[in-house]
């Protein structure tokens, strides 16, 4: 492979990686910390998202993943009312 081809391949990879990084940074505008209390266990997690609802769902899913061990409990925890929610722009 010639130097020119290697340079073009490297440049293309850098452009793709740069696009992925910059496009993902622009969509997460809201940050929410959600605390859950499920079967006596508690966890709080923070997540960012383009909307308040999406940030809350992601943070709650992450918090539930820390305190439950099975698929059924994960679904039930995710569907329960969070103990607290704090969001900021």
Q: 84 near 25, Cβ under 8 Å?
A: no
Residue 12 lies in a domain: no
pTM summary value: 0.69
Going edge to edge, which strands form the sheet with 30-38?
A: 41-49, 30-38, 84-88
Q: How many distinct structural domains can be found in the chain?
A: 1
Query: For position 3, what pLDDT does the model report?
Result: 85
pLDDT in tens, 5-54: 887 788 888 888 877 776 666 666 899 999 999 999 999 999 999 999 99
The parent domain of residue 46 ranges over: 30-88
Average pLDDT for 77-85: 94
């Amino acid at each position: 492979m010639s130097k020119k081809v290697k340079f073009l391949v490297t440049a293309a990879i850098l452009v793709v990686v740069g696009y992925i990084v910059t496009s993902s940074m622009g969509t997460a505008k809201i940050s929410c910390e959600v605390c859950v209390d499920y079967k006596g266990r508690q966890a709080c997690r923070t997540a960012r998202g383009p909307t308040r609802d999406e940030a809350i769902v992601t943070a709650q899913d992450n918090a539930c993943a820390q305190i439950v061990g099975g698929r059924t409990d994960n679904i039930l925890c995710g569907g329960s009312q969070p103990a607290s929610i704090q969001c900021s722009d």
